[in-house]
Structure 1
Amino acid sequence: MENFWFYINMGLNHVLDFNAYDHILFLSALAIPFTFKSWKKVLVLATVFTITHCLSLMLSVFDIVVMDVGLIEFLIPVTIFLTAIFNIVYLKRLQGQTNILLHALATAFFGLIHGFGFSNYFKMLIAGEDEKITPLLGFATGIEISQLIIVMAVLLVAYAVQNLGRIKQPNFVLVASIIVLLITIPLLYQTFPW
């Protein structure tokens, strides 16, 4: 059980590490178009991301799929960029009017990419472990907890800005998504593999 807690902690640290802020940035972009009224949708998206993130880790740990690290490092900021663009393009379909199926499919695909980005480091960490499922489950639990913390924080900031600052939701989504885009552009440049 101590081993399980170690991997939960590692999952928490993986997502909440401000030095590797790409995960936080992606989750922020994912949560920007939503409000507390639609918290269940955000929870579903965060869980889809966790599941596919851990699926790619599992595929990598068991050497079923091996990905080019340079390409994955570039695709991670691409996923953030595309999520922010998606927010801007679909401004007219905010909240209850949106079906999250497209969001969920994109989130699942992006979760796979983000998982492969961490897979080499994770494989190195569990190299001495005989049993690999417990570390994966512990890590997934830590990721899910930390992602919920981040999306709830984004929803709280959105609530404060929109209600206390009297900013309309479409304006908030537009400005917040543009900020994410501006932060992501240097990441795209730094990780461009060709």
Structure 2
Amino acid sequence: MKVTGATLLRLGLARFAALLCVLLLMAAPARAHYLDIVQFTLVEQANPNVHQLVVTMPANLDANAPLIVPRHCVLMQRDSVTEGQSHIVSMMIDCDPELAEQAGTELTGQIETRWGRDGGMLQLQMLDGSSASVMLSGNRTGISLDMPVWDELAAQPPQGFLEKAWRYLELGTVHVLIGWDHLAFVFCLAMLATGLPLIGLITSFTVGHSLSLALAHLGLVNIPIAPVEAVIALSVVFMAREVFFTPGSRLSLRRAQNPEAFPESQAQVHSHRWRMGVTAAFGLIHGLGFASVLGELGVSAADTVIALAFFNIGVEAGQVLFVGAILLALAILRRLGRVEYALMHATTCLVGGMGVFWTLQRVVG
């Protein structure tokens, strides 16, 4: 058989793409539905100089991360406990006006934390039973709380509808785009069908995760996150397998090599309607993973509707962006002929392999 330069080029590109995908996927975290989102609660004390700060964060964050207080403040006590998938850190901070005078500083400053790089919620609980809350934007180092916060926050008007809606939409979009296992599942959907069937799969997945997200956030469904994460990883394995063996998928390897490999009865088992049902079922599981993010944020009862609606819209926006990027890449690769097929084959193999890796790591670890 004559080997041409074009054939060698295609093989080289496929191998390079496979290596690149391996490196990227190996860098992905095993637990892909955790964001660095925290809830800060400042509890007013009888002594106006003493503040109780309670921080609720995902269990994958370091509860012992350093905390920097203003020079006129002293960290008197720090305790932490783990409840389920969350760390709860409670601290007593004493800010003495005399210390500020001795240091020649004003009664201002910041409590600097290493948590909340993706945002958070600050809630104030007053002695008279009233409360106030505000959503916080994260940064690369973590959230800093300005001191004093009591009068400042109480004097601020409540955050408006548009401000809250934008923040929840942003969180939903970011959550999807950094969720490797979720992106892997959506990639498989994009490989599994084209045109209207693809829209049907995406829609059924959306219906599934929207329903379970709402039920879990409202407390009507309560399933531990560990088995949920394991099944999410398993869903990637299942869908990667479907990409290879389902008639009508972008690969359909057996059918491409032998059109008679799928008798009619087997094709019916793999019908589009059946795939939509399976996709919706997996969507229910993925939605439970999404709900854990809103749970970590500590959404108030008054913001439940806006949080569910716009976080979900953000999730859909992230999905649309990702699917659009895949379709654009395929349109470009289609000009390369067999290179497109080789790249899809290699990437789907890698996605399925990482699904197996995630499943084992989440079950064993």
* Global fold match (TM > 0.5): yes
Shift of 1:85: 0.5
Q: Matches of 1:120 and 1:183 in 2, distance apart?
A: 23
- Per mean C-alpha deviation after superposition, the further-off stretch among 126-135 and 146-155 is 126-135
Amino acid at match of 1:151: V
Residues 70-81 of structure 1 mapped to structure 2, 5 A cutoff: 70-81=226-237
**Structure-1 residue corresponding to 2:349:** 178
Residue number in structure 2 paired with 1:65: 221
> Does the 8 Å CA contact 1:53/1:115 hold for their aligned counterparts?
yes
Q: Name the residue aligned to 1:93.
A: 248
Which residue in the other structure is 2:175 paired with?
14
Q: Which of 127, 150, 156 lines up with 2:322 in the alignment?
A: 150
| Residue of structure 2 aligned with 1:25, choices 184, 199, 202 | 184
Secondary structure of the residue aligned to 1:31 is helix
Q: Which structure has more helix as a fraction of its residues?
A: 1
Question: Which residue is 1:46 aligned to?
Answer: 202
Q: By percentage of residues, which structure has more strand? A: 2
Q: CA deviation at 1:141?
A: 0.9
C-alpha distance 130-111 of structure 1, shift in aligned 2 (>3 A) = same
Structure-1 separation of matches of 2:249 and 2:339: 11
Question: Any conservation in 2 of the 1:50–1:143 contact (CA below 8 Å)?
Answer: no
Q: CA RMSD in A?
A: 2.4
Q: How much has 1:173 moved relative to structure 2?
A: 5.0
Aligned partner of residue 184 in structure 2, secondary structure: helix
Offset at 1:10? 0.9
- Do 2:191 and 2:249's aligned partners in 1 also have CA atoms closer than 8 Å? no
| Residue 191 (structure 1) aligns with | 362
Structure 1-normalised TM-score? 0.84
| Per-residue deviation, 1:15 | 0.5
State the Cα distance separating 1:88 from its structure 2 match.
Answer: 1.0
1:108 pairs with 2:108:
no
CA contact under 8 A between 2:234 and 2:356: conserved in structure 1? no
Which residue number in structure 1 is paired with residue 118 of structure 2?
none
Q: Distance in 2 between matches of 1:9 and 1:41?
A: 29
Structure 1 residue 137 corresponds to structure 2 residue 296: no
Distance 2:276 2:314 in 1: 21
Q: Where do 5+ consecutive residues of structure 2 fail to align?
A: 1-161, 251-266
Query: What is the TM-score of this pair, normalised by structure 2?
Result: 0.47
Amino acid aligned to 1:66: N
Which protein shows a greater Rg? 2
- Contact kept in structure 1, 2:170 and 2:314, CA below 8 Å: yes
